[in-house]
C-alpha cells in the first residue's frame, strides 16, 4: 500500500479530491494537524464526503508522530523548491508521499533535513504551480505504475 500524507492542508475541496484519488488508487491518506477546516465542513462534504466513509484515512497530531509510528518506511517530500524529478525515484510498497500546505508547501527546515528524499514535479518557469490534488494524482499514479511493473 502507498501512503499520501497531507501536512496541514488548508482547502477542504483539495482534501476531498485527494481522498477520492487515494480510494481509487488503494492508498491510505494521512492528515497531519492542524487542518485548515473541520472534517464535517460543508465544503468537504461537497468535495468528497460521499466517498469519505470508504476511504482509509488516519489523523496525526504531527508529522513526527506519523514518522515514529511508520518505523522504517520511506518518506518522499514533494516540493517546488528542489530539483529531483519525481519520476527518478524508485517507489516501493509502503512508501509515504508527503505534500505540504497549498499556500506554503513543506517547511524549508524539513526539506533541508531531507534533501536525499525530496522530489519535484518539473514545470515551465512561467508556471506558478499546480493544484495540490493534481500534484498528488501525478505522483501517486506514477508510484502505482511502477509498482504494477514489479
Through-space distance between the first and last CA atoms of the chain, rounded to whole angstroms: 14
- pLDDT tens, position by position, 61-108: 999 999 999 999 999 999 999 999 999 999 999 999 999 999 999 999
- Closest among 62, 88, 80 to 8, alpha carbons compared: 62
- Of how many residues is the chain composed? 150
CATH 3.40.50.2020 is the classification of domain 3-148: no
Neighbours of 47 (CB within 10 A): 22
Are 70 and 111 in contact by the 8 Å Cβ rule? The answer is no
- Domain residue ranges in the chain: 3-148
Are 98 and 55 in contact by the 8 Å Cβ rule? The answer is no
Show the cell assigned to 135.
500534484
Task: Please say if the pLDDT value at position 146 is more than 80.
Answer: yes
Q: Say what the pTM is.
A: 0.93
Strands (E), the chain: 3-7, 28-32, 57-60, 75-78, 96-99, 118-119
Helix axes 132-148, 12-25, angle to 10 degrees: 10
Separation of alpha carbons 53 and 104, rounded Å: 29
Amino acid at each position: 500500500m502507498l501512503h499520501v500524507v497531507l501536512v496541514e492542508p488548508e482547502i477542504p475541496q483539495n482534501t476531498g479530491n485527494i481522498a477520492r484519488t487515494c480510494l481509487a488508487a488503494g492508498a491510505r491518506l494521512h492528515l497531519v494537524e492542524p487542518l485548515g477546516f473541520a472534517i464535517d465542513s460543508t465544503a468537504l462534504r461537497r468535495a468528497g464526503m460521499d466517498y469519505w466513509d470508504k476511504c482509509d484515512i488516519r489523523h496525526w497530531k504531527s508529522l513526527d508522530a506519523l514518522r515514529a509510528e511508520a518505523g522504517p518506511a520511506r518518506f518522499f517530500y514533494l516540493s517546488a523548491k528542489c530539483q529531483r524529478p519525481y519520476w527518478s525515484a524508485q517507489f516501493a510498497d509502503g512508501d509515504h508521499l508527503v505534500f505540504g500546505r497549498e499556500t506554503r508547501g513543506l517547511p524549508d527546515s524539513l526539506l533541508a533535513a531531507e534533501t536525499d528524499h525530496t522530489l519535484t514535479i518539473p514545470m515551465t518557469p512561467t508556471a506558478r504551480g499546480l493544484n495540490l490534488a493534481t500534484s498528488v494524482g501525478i505522483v501517486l499514479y506514477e508510484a502505482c505504475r511502477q509498482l504494477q511493473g514489479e
